[in-house]
Amino acid sequence: METISFYRYAQIADPEKLRDTLKKGGEQKNILGRILVGREGINGAVSGRKEDIQLFQEELRQEFKGLTFREQNVSQNSYHKLVVRVRKEICVFGKETNVKNTGKHLPAKELERWYKEGKSFTIVDARNDYEYDVGHFKGAVKLPINSFREFPEVAPRLLADKKKETLVLYCTGGVRCEKASAYLQEQGFADVYQVDGGIISYLNQFSTNWEGGLFVFDDRLVEESCSPLNSCCFCGEKTDIIHNCFNVDCDKLFIACADCLKKMNKTCSERCKASPRQRKVEEKKEIVGKVLNYYPQMKIAAVQFKRDVADHETITFKGKTTFFSQNIGKTKVDEEGVATFFVKEKVRKNDRILLSQSNEF
């Protein structure tokens, strides 16, 4: 499995048309993720099988020549659905800025050399404060912001005494730094760089000057890290696992080890644990096969399974107009490994078959 992120600031005449094209292409390839399209460009991250991701990348390159990707190998899909939406801003900043005036791109290899040689520069985390807490570059300046929209107000004020210094901005994949670095230059900062490809690009090549884990905006929340940077807020054990409080009225991000998280029912405090408004647990489902054919008179489905599935297990059929669950029951398997069995509702060719996975810690 692979997760990729990408962005491009470019004039898009018909965002709605591009949205529909990407949605259709993603669904055909079982791609899951989140893509934002606007007149100012595209910003997205998707996950799927490597061969499907490669096909999707080629389609994106046809729309955006020279588009680059930040790539991460993952053990399972990082998203649980595909969302493609049109937005006024593909990265919400709240201030007008000219991204053609963006800061100079600093390759990961060059940043590593700067650290090694002791070059004089100030490295600034352009992300939210909770992302910094999970992990950051050595010596990085933390900005007290909870959303990128706050950057234009906070950053110029806190960095005012560094207008003549060399500044290096960084974010997860680079999309935020395009606007952030351009804005700082417009505010009179003389020598502004941004880490080319963001943290993901750096960590794909180096780890020397990175401390902790990497917060990501998908189902993982934290990517695999070099070493735990933080401590569990309950027991103090070193961990880099970050969670959303299951109290709907709180939704706070907090760091906790697996044992304490289980004891606290995934909430950040005793008060939240006692709250009646708890987030519903979404059961993770593994894709174990697909429908090859359906015989309506006999209500029999012909299915290709990716692995052995026991008769007593509950499977879910999911497609554009299909969604129901049942026990498999008795099956017949031919020489080519195609299984046939009774289904209680109509299924369609290429409907996916999902199997519930345990969500225990």
Question: Which residues are the active-site residues?
Answer: 171
Sheet of 191-195, strands arranged across: 104-106, 191-195, 166-170, 122-125
**Structure tokens given for 66:** 């020279």
DSSP secondary structure string for all residues of 243-283:
EE-SBTTT--EEE--HHHHHHTTT-SSHHHHT-S-BPPPPP
Q: What H or E segment, with its residue span, contains residue 36?
A: strand 32-38
Task: Give the β-pairing of 166-170 and 191-195.
Answer: parallel
* 3-state secondary structure (DSSP) of residue 329: coil
Nearest CA among 349, 355, 359, 288 for reference residue 320: 349
DSSP label at 163? T
Cα dist from 158 to 25, 120, 124, 144, whole Å: 44, 19, 11, 10
Nearest CA among 318, 334, 336 for reference residue 326: 318
How would you class 239 by CB atoms within 10 Å of its CB: exposed for 0-12, middle for 13-18, buried for 19 or more? buried
Question: Length of the chain, please?
Answer: 361
DSSP label at 247? B
Nearest CA among 169, 190, 156, 189 for reference residue 123: 169
CA 21 from chain centre, in angstroms, equals 21
- Asked if 136 and 124 touch (Cβ cutoff 8 Å), the reply is no
Q: What H or E segment, with its residue span, contains residue 110?
A: helix 108-117
Find residue 70's DSSP bridge partners. 5
